[in-house]
Structure 1
Amino acid sequence: MPRLFTGLQLPPDIGFALSLKRGGLHGARWISPENYHITLRFIGDVDHHTADEILDALDHGPVIDPFPITLSHLGVFGSNKPRALYAGIEPSEPLARLQAGQERLLQRVGVPADGRKFVPHVTLARLRDTAALDLARHIAQSGQFMAMSFTVDRFVLLSSRESVGGGPYIIEQDYPLAA
């Protein structure tokens, strides 16, 4: 059974710039830059029939023109017990529409609703036993976060092997946005 999710890939120059934030943090398992992405919708493990239905459904999503997005800050999931360091994304109406459209399509083919609020981000590290103070020090020492923008002109359906996360990911299908 494939484990699927939809996402946006990052341009190599943005991946490189984000990779400079790596290192020097106890308990961090750093994500490889080639696996950086913005998850639109985690789907999970599905059978091959459902995977085929998902491939087809995503072909018929809402028409959205290419749009810019900006990575604007570093953030942390899990305040008292940090579990991930990420690069956050400025609010974007087209990004929200793209994600909401996929949510509706996936529910139509039987994928259960995702009960979590959509928080677009790029995971840089998964954290385990990282002290909040050490994390705050790391963020402060990593220097000012310079905003990085790029144009989204497609999304992808990705698969991963069952693991603790972080890749490697395989592109199963590429979906260009309207031009």
Structure 2
Amino acid sequence: MLIYDQFHREASGATHSLLLNRGEIMELLDKIKIMIEPILKSNNVYLDDLEYVQDRGEWYLRIFVEKNEGFLDMDTCVAVSEAISQKMDEEDPIEGEYYLEVSSPGVEKPLKTFEQVKSSLGKYVYAKFYNPVAGLDEVEGFIKRIEDETIEFEYLVKNIKKKIKIDYNNIKFIRLAVKF
């Protein structure tokens, strides 16, 4: 579910001549989080992730939201997008042109923080490792247990259940997965 909205700078039609460093982007995102929090709350959704990135020469403000209870529907996504668009027009925190994308993170959402991994206990995931463990450089299975920063996965090999423990710092990438 994705809603696009394009903003243009009104004053002199300026475009991005900015080279933003990581710190400036984080500061901008923190400001935007505070700005949109009341909108999210009033629509019974929460912020899953927020990013401001350049892709193929265009700037994108991507806001990923999830419903507090149940699934995010198109009507809610549209309402949130329109309210955020209006607020962004009023506050104008970003110089230049950019696209606003408001969407759900999807069924195969990346788990970008340890907190997100912990909240996915019992869920089916795909994980890729920096360094192989027990001959594996990736695993697809259930998160069975988390102790300190060690994650135990349960996965199948030829219909036989196996378990593997991986240190969180050895995980290069992890996302929710759909089991077929």
Question: Do they fold alike, i.e. is TM over 0.5?
Answer: no
TM-score (norm 1): 0.26
Normalised to the residue count of structure 2, the TM-score between the two structures is: 0.26
Name the structure with the higher strand share.
Answer: 2
